[in-house]
Structure 1
Amino acid sequence: MQEPTKEGSARFDTRAELETHLRACLAAAHVTLDLFDPDFAVFPLGSIETDTLLRAFLGRGGMLRLAMHLPAHIERHYPRLLRLLRDYSHAVECRATPKALHNLTDSFCIVDNRHVLRRFHSDHMRGEMAFDAPGAVDVPRHRFEAIWAESRPVLQPTTTGL
């Protein structure tokens, strides 16, 4: 596995490498953390380590946005994440894309508009982590904002969202 270097990037093609890079993203996050994946089945969002990193990030005042096609995997397999959503409902928002966008198959995590973790296709592990590279964030940032604008809220703590 290639470790990302300051102002550099690293390619990966295994689940273990993806998880290592995701942990690096979560640890580096200070202000914003935006993630898009069709269902987050590959992201270890339900692990104890991820929960600890996300709670530290949110405890420092960070904002987390998750965009997905379907929330079913999170609802069934990530009870820790659901508790985190309830505990930090003021700092976390989740949205689901409309069916017209379900053809989007890439996956990415954008950290503070400085770092980006991208899987080129959600069916494969192959991807790239660009660390301290604001220029590499531009395209994923625009894609995320467009996806976000078209999506509707899901995974709210209560039926009324309060």
Structure 2
Amino acid sequence: MPPTRQEKPEPRLVDSRAAYAEAAADIAGRARRRIDLLSYDLADWAYGTPGFCDAVRDLVLGHQRARVRVLVHDVRSVATQEHRLLHLLRHVSSFTEIRVLAEHQGDNRDESLIADERHLLERDTPDSPTARLCLDMPVRARAARHRFDGLWDAAGPATELRRLYI
């Protein structure tokens, strides 16, 4: 009997807010070194959940070289929220950075959550929870990370989201 080839993983469709929030927490929980998040407005229902925030906290407190980068489009709507994730990121700021998309990138509305260039959650619009969950898909995750890096390099600091804690 010939050896069977291992099946390639396929993206899984996520089609509700609850499933998206669960998938985001799962992706964050799988990270060991890095999380890159591109979000239109850091939807609290997706990124402000206890599961997601706890996973991010565990990453930055459990790994000396952990890094979390957050890139947002609509910084004004984020700044007016009392957001659990922002509160956490402000308290672990030596591991995190938040930037805002450059003006010429203003038509960008897709979102992606990338963990360690291995796992990816991506959706085409912030208006819908429909997304693709890509677990153990490094080629796809690296491509998303490459795109994220280009946006990140052109982005500016999100000064509206800074607060000093003394």
Q: TM-score range by the shorter chain?
A: 0.7 to 0.9
Q: TM-score, normalised by structure 1?
A: 0.85
Name stretches of at least 5 consecutive residues in structure 1 with no aligned partner: 1-5
| 1:28-66 superposed Cα distances (whole Å, 9 cap, x missing partner) | 111000000111226533233332221111101221000
The 1-side partners of 2:30 and 2:91 are apart by: 21
The 2-side partners of 1:68 and 1:132 are apart by: 25
Q: Which one of the candidate residues 88, 94, 111 is aligned to 1:90?
A: 94
The 2-side partners of 1:103 and 1:23 are apart by: 27
The 2-side partners of 1:60 and 1:7 are apart by: 29
Alignment of 1:9-158 (within 5 A): 9-41=11-43, 44-61=46-63, 62-154=66-158, 155-158=161-164
Kindly name which structure, 1 or 2, has the bigger radius of gyration based on alpha carbons: 2
The 1-side partners of 2:114 and 2:78 are apart by: 19
The 2-side partners of 1:51 and 1:125 are apart by: 19
Contact (CA 8 Å) 1:95, 1:152: kept in 2 or not?
yes
The 2-side partners of 1:144 and 1:78 are apart by: 26
Contact (CA 8 Å) 1:63, 1:92: kept in 2 or not?
yes
Q: TM-score, normalised by structure 2?
A: 0.83
Pick closer, same or farther for the CA change 1:125–1:86 going to 2, 3 Å: closer
Contact (CA 8 Å) 2:48, 2:85: kept in 1 or not?
yes
The letter of the residue matching 2:25 is R
Name stretches of at least 5 consecutive residues in structure 2 with no aligned partner: 1-7
The 2-side partners of 1:103 and 1:79 are apart by: 24
Identity across matched positions, percent:
25
| 1:74-116 superposed Cα distances (whole Å, 9 cap, x missing partner) | 3232443233122111001000012211101111000000000
CA RMSD of aligned residues (A): 2.3
Moved more, 11-20 or 40-49: 40-49
| 1:100-159 superposed Cα distances (whole Å, 9 cap, x missing partner) | 11101111000000000000222222221110110111321121001100101112343x
Aligned length: 156
Q: Secondary structure in 2 aligned to 1:44?
A: helix
**Residue 3 of structure 1 corresponds to which residue in structure 2?**
none
Deviation of 1:8 (Å): 4.1
Moved more, 97-106 or 27-36: 97-106
